[in-house]
Amino acid sequence: MTDDGLLPEHDGRPGDGGLSARAKAVLALERRNWAGPGAKERAIREELGLAPVRYYQILNALLDDERALAHDPVTVNRLRRVRQARRAER
């Protein structure tokens, strides 16, 4: 995948699958369950220091990145199915 500036640079640690710490944190946050409205957006701002719009841009780019699929196949495949279902509804 070509980097269009949405994904943070690789953090260079051996055996990390080529994903940056931020990319891994985005996937980890996406794995969690959220209690109520606004909780996820608050966590995005507080834990990652990102605006929700930027978070979703990075997440969407990660769904097309094979490194993300290798790192967390369950989460990436689930989100790919959700994205595809939403596109099919349009």
Percentage of residues in the chain with pLDDT exceeding 70?
81
Write down the pLDDT at residue 14.
47
Inter-residue contact 17 to 69 (CB < 8 Å): no
Judge whether residue 1 has pLDDT over 80. no
Judge whether residue 12 has pLDDT over 70. no
Percentage of residues in the chain with pLDDT exceeding 90?
74
Q: How confident is the model at residue 6 (pLDDT cuts 50, 70, 90)?
A: low
Cα–Cα distance measured from residue 56 to residue 79, given in angstroms and rounded to the nearest whole number: 12
